Amino acid sequence: MENAIKITKPESYFVSLMGKIPILSYYSHSRGWSFLITWGHRLSGLTLVFYMFAHLYTLSLLFQPEKFDADMQFLNNFLFTFLEWCVAIPVIFHALNGGRLILYEMFHVRAEEMIIRLMVIIGIIYIAIVGFFFIEESRQISAIVFWSITVIISLVAFFIVFFKLWSTGNSLMWKLQRITGGFMFLMLIGHMLFMHMNYLAGHDSKTILLRMQSPFIKGVDLIFILFLLFHAGYGMFSIATDYLRPGPVLKSLTFLIIVAMLVSAFFGIRLVAAL
């Protein structure tokens, strides 16, 4: 193939290392890496949905700041810190792969190998940076400056995806999922970085409550929560439609997903508005 890119030595070593993991080895040979990437997207999406519910629960403890601080103190040990760092893996994988899919849907350019190579490099750098912040957690950055820059870039991404995909013949829900994905791309990556640059930023009730007094931060949080819940809810619905035929089971599951997202939206909005 004329456009095929040359696989470098470290890359072929990395792929052979991945191929040593039994389940990856089996499916990469029988179904190919793109099958595994699709599954990775699905599993990372579901992992983030469950993490999101747990996260909403811990944030709801901010109504009782002493309880919140006591829980954060309890979780402040090697095991939980390591598990929290591990969340960077589904975050960056889902964001980069989702971004890759949206780029393809907008511009129809298939430079898969090149983009996957970039994804791996950016992914590893991101996980390492988050890990660095877990160890060296005293970076100071103004929340307003950080989120102003992140929101401006995210709005640009939002409008690019909106204008490119709005006039396509896909369903409204499909388009909204890509548009919310485009907006959340940097917001989600930034969220994790911001909360771990400084331990207090994401784990100390006083610091969080003070930050949340800003109407700008409240607005950003509200938009993020609503986009996130729509995206996650529609994501789960589209997974359900892949396995279930139209009928009472699918209807009941859809109903459950809608209720779960509406209840989460209620708690999320109440949290942001009341604190």
What residue ranges bind ligand HEM (CB under 6 A)? 41-42, 45-46, 48-49, 52, 94-95, 98-99, 101-102, 177-178, 181, 184-185, 188, 228, 231-232, 235-236, 238-239
The residue among 55 and 270 lying less far from ligand HEM, judged by its C-beta, is 55
108: left (phi over 0), alpha (psi -120 to 50) or beta: left
The residue among 13 and 255 lying less far from ligand HEM, judged by its C-beta, is 255
Nearest distance in Å: CB 48, ligand HEM: 3
CA 221 to chain centre: 15
Nearest distance in Å: CB 235, ligand HEM: 2
Q: Rounded to an integer, what distance in angstroms lies between the CA atom of residue 226 and that of residue 234?
A: 12
The residue among 147 and 205 lying less far from ligand HEM, judged by its C-beta, is 147
The residue among 133 and 183 lying less far from ligand HEM, judged by its C-beta, is 183
CB within 8 Å of 204: residues ≥ 6 apart: 69, 72
Nearest distance in Å: CB 47, ligand HEM: 8
CA 22 to chain centre: 27
CB within 8 Å of 230: residues ≥ 6 apart: 176, 177, 180, 261
The residue among 7 and 83 lying less far from ligand HEM, judged by its C-beta, is 83
CB within 8 Å of 42: residues ≥ 6 apart: 239
Beta bridge partners of 138: 198
Nearest distance in Å: CB 242, ligand HEM: 7
Nearest distance in Å: CB 9, ligand HEM: 31
What radius of gyration do the chain's Cα atoms show?
A: 20
The residue among 175 and 231 lying less far from ligand HEM, judged by its C-beta, is 231
Q: Which residues of 97-125 are buried (b: 16+ CB within 10 A; e: fewer)?
A: bbbbebbebbeeeeeeeebbeebeeebee
Nearest distance in Å: CB 3, ligand HEM: 24
